[in-house]
Chains A and B, each alone.
Chain A
Amino acid sequence: MNKSQLITVLAKTEDLTIRSAEDIVNTFFKEVEKSLLNDDRVEIRGLGSFKIKQYDGYDGRNPKTGKKIKVKSKKLPFFKVGKELKERVDKL
């Protein structure tokens, strides 16, 4: 499922116009993004939580050429699945 399908389903189930369903879906992901850009945690019961992890830089190698390279430190969001969703996905 992609974002536009998500919007369509939400519009149908909640009897909203596509336009306002789109605004709501965008608001949702924008809020999560804003929070992550501030290095803040996001915690959504039933779905899961996001937090920013800091990865240190290290000396690496290009596996193809064997050349040494410096890998810079970076930040990446990390998603931990919530209990409810974890169990639902794993059910056959």
Chain B
Amino acid sequence: MALTKEKIIDSVYNQAGLSKNQSRRVVESLLETMKKSLSKGESLLISGFGKFIVKDKAARKGRNPQTRKDLNLRARRVIVFRTSGVLRRKINHKD
């Protein structure tokens, strides 16, 4: 089963000595802090986990593969995630 926000709130609730509502609030606040930083164009580095990098993509010409029509893709700003070496090794050494 996929891990969801609700389960993370439960773990925080079980560990932090906060009420369920406080736990929810704090997790939402944490997520908002992360999103705010990224929205400002600032990358987010979590050592031992990975980094969320904000990248500026140049505009380019593309094609709709279904209709084969040419189209212009505007310049975009996107997020890419790069897994830390530590986590990568953990994931691959397990089996």
Decide: A81 and B78 in contact? CB cutoff 8 A: yes
Decide: B30 and A6 in contact? CB cutoff 8 A: yes
A42-B60 Cα distance, complex, nearest whole Å:
32
Decide: A27 and B12 in contact? CB cutoff 8 A: yes
When distances are taken between beta carbons in the complex, the residues of chain B under 8 Å from A48 are 79
Point out the residue from A1, A10, A23, A31 that lies within 8 Å of B8, measured CB to CB.
Answer: A31
Point out the residue from B38, B42, B92 that lies within 8 Å of A85, measured CB to CB.
Answer: B38
Point out the residue from A14, A40, A46, A79 that lies within 8 Å of B31, measured CB to CB.
Answer: A46
Evaluate whether A40 and B39 lie within 8 angstroms (CB atoms) in the complex, with A10-B33, A14-B29, A77-B50 already known. Answer: no
A58-92 contact mask (Cβ, 8 Å, vs B): 1 or 0:
00000000000000001111110100111011110
How many B residues touch A, CB cutoff 8 Å? 48
B36-65 contact mask (Cβ, 8 Å, vs A): 1 or 0:
011101111111111010100000000000
Which A residues have a C-beta under 8 Å from some C-beta of B? Answer: 1-3, 6, 9-10, 13-14, 16, 20, 23-25, 27-29, 31-37, 40-50, 52, 74-79, 81, 84-86, 88-91
Which B residues have a C-beta under 8 Å from some C-beta of A? Answer: 1-5, 7-8, 11-12, 15-16, 25-27, 29-31, 33-35, 37-39, 41-50, 52, 54, 76-81, 83, 87-88, 90-92, 94
8 A-B pairs within 8 Å (CB atoms) are namely A23-B16, A31-B3, A43-B3, A45-B4, A47-B35, A78-B81, A79-B79, A89-B54
